[in-house]
Structure 1
């Protein structure tokens, strides 16, 4: 059965902290966002609902503490208790993912990737990563990002027939360009990377292997996806998404690189750690180690597979023909509209998702995920219902009818993200 989480807050003024009652403008924003999340369906692949315990840690007095440095070696006094919180977070992360070392201080996934590059590379080094048009992240060589400005990125792509990673091209490009590092990981690839093959190619050309596992990290924690930890020199991840923790980053590595990674985070790329967020990460790691989370992670994948198959049956062109993860990428064009138009119609119906690049030149598709829906307690039956709502919303040129919007509202009401 799907695994649900309980909510921390009820959307009424009486339940808001006193300080927010003194600031009605911000109170209205908070109440409005609470209502939006409860009244619509969140299918953005990078989003989820945290537990009350995670939210409690985020709003704790640890938010007041400045703690530059690491446990036992801070630049500020009074860090005994935040040291304990960070040690707990690191111990739980290494145990959860089977890693030698964890750095829990990165403020985001991008911060984690920046620190990994800083630990292993020098400006001008060549890096092989999944091309941006084929699902690569901004930190994988976008000219608008630090990665594209500081390093020489070469992009590998997807096989145009299958939509799968072209591993022959990965090997050929590695042999040709002899990169200092190879990055495996994507923001919109719905299948599992072959980490062992990436390791083989990296060893062949003398490159570091960096796994950007921001999206599958929660599935990995729950045993629903293979782990890059045994293969990669450094693993970068986020602690939100499927992992269901606070917004933040995480780096895992072996003992050989631990000191370099830590120095790349602090003092090279970041200052004081956000100790309330680190405590919330510790809570999330503890939750992810429980048997209920493994059931949740497998349900996320089961839901995604059913939703992908249902969208395919409705006429959407589903990339790779399905999914092994929480991610689904589809082209709505066979039903009429382009991706941006489809996203607007879906949003009007209360179905919230993203668009993403497709391998075809200049093409875009819709990207969606099942992590948040599964947290709410939805299962395969609801995925089929959502696919039908998708089709009706996308096909209506004047925007979704009131009936479609009402059905989305009714479905959301049956599975509130937070009880009470």
Structure 2
């Protein structure tokens, strides 16, 4: 990736040395470390420039060409560009690109389609679900009646028979598919059949596999889903924010009103511009090659860890995310993650299905190939990363091994620079 224009990237920070030091420190951390956190990626210079543009100065509310504020000619052009690109990329009829996050996208859909207190059936966070789907600490968990499904204890995969029984018992108005730590392909057709049986909407949150969906490497939620939500970073390599996609025009006014004025106010136009930029990049032929590499690299990383004696939840992955069970090492995910960070490997602790340990000190690590693939790593590099992770996770107090790995990580990062 070429260096972003200096005036966008650095010059404005010269007036604030303390802030500049923090931003430059983060740039150095990204350059000299390997990002393995599934909710992160490395954006292009175009996305950086769009998000740091003069669109930051403009306030608009409402839909494009129907604003509450004047002076929106170019704001409308930017948002319309993002909408049209989203519709083309995911082959759908309607898109709302205004959500500030994936959680806002989900909250807006719930607000638009449901009444307070309506029942929702979603994957339990402990099984790999996302907190915005009804965790009790969230507004969704507070405002709606939440029932949770999990995974089969043997296969660690979604059991549609069990899910159907839960749906018949809870009679949800929405069934939510997708999560933050479920690494396998989801049977959207099977879920839609259950949703139809109980009269529910099927909402698919594809935040962690949207890039694979866009390139035909993961089952497409449409035509089975009534509504699809996603973030635009993670596998789409873009701006931080969310989107909502759908095909039924009868849902349009409800979904749009759920986003604005339902859960948020004015549009963050600079973020929408960043979304337009990344969606444009995702429409190019090389985006499929990137996602093919993401999938190959995630599987190589999982295999490397399995070959070194670490158990991979579900025994593999169908996306850029893998979940590792550290129970056999006697080391918890929080301890392993701190040790790995010292070596320049950014990961996050994570619960595994039926985890006997608490979320603060769980048994697992969640890993992703997204960012490493963006900077050019291939299967050999991810096999090396797997070796570093296995060595350090087994001996998180071995500072000599950590320091040695840190030097090797630094050398690898210098061979595959960002910006």
TM class by shorter chain equals over 0.9
Equivalent residue for 1:64, pick from 57, 62, 67: 57
- 1:321 alignment counterpart: 315
TM-score by length of 1: 0.95
Residues 347-400 of structure 1 show CA distances to partners (whole Å, capped at 9, x for unaligned) of 111110111121124333100100000000000011111111112222224244
Q: Which moved more, 1:276-285 or 1:195-204?
A: 276-285
* One of 331, 338, 349 as aligned partner of 1:344: 338
Partners of 1:46 and 1:304 lie apart in 2 by: 14
Corresponding residue number in structure 2 for 1:176:
169
Report the counterpart of residue 374 of structure 1 in structure 2: 373
The whole-number CA distance in structure 2 between the counterparts of 1:403 and 1:239 is 36
Aligned residue in 1 for 2:80:
87
Task: Output the TM-score relative to the length of structure 2.
Answer: 0.95
Cα distance in 2 for residues equivalent to 1:19 and 1:224: 41
- Which secondary structure does the structure 2 equivalent of 1:89 belong to? helix
Distance 1:15 1:248 in 2: 20
- Residue 222 of structure 2 is matched in structure 1 by 229
Three-state SS of the structure 2 residue aligned to 1:294 is helix
1:230 aligned counterpart, secondary structure: coil
Between the two proteins, the alignment pairs up a number of residues equal to 411
Give the secondary structure class of the aligned counterpart of 1:280. helix
Instruction: Please identify runs of 4+ aligned residues in structure 1 that moved more than 6 A.
Output: none
RMSD: 1.4
Question: What is the CA-CA distance between 1:333 and the residue it aligns to?
Answer: 2.4
The answer for the alignment partner of 2:393 in structure 1 is: 394
Secondary structure of the 2:230 match is: strand
1:176–1:16 CA distance, 2 compared to 1 (3 A): closer
Corresponding residue for residue 8 of structure 1: 4
Do residues 248 (structure 1) and 241 (structure 2) align? yes
- 1:98 equivalent to 2:91? Answer yes
Q: Residues 315 and 6 of structure 1: is their aligned pair in 2 closer, same or farther, counting only changes over 3 Å?
A: farther
Contact kept, 8 Å, 1:346 with 1:400, in 2: the verdict is no
3-state SS of paired residue (1:144): coil
Which residue does the alignment assign to 1:359?
Answer: 353
Q: 1:9 to 1:41 in 2, by over 3 A?
A: farther
CA-CA distance at 1:9 after TM superposition: 6.6
- In the alignment, the residues of structure 1 paired with residue 124 and residue 2 of structure 2 have an alpha-carbon distance, to the nearest angstrom, of 39
Number of the residue aligned with 1:77: 70
Instruction: State yes or no: 1:385 paired with 2:384.
Output: yes
The whole-number CA distance in structure 2 between the counterparts of 1:19 and 1:295 is 36
The answer on 1:303 being equivalent to 2:302 is: no
Structure 1: 5+ residue stretches without partners: none
> Aligned partners of 1:318 and 1:375: how far apart in 2?
23
Change (3 A) 1:322 1:371: same
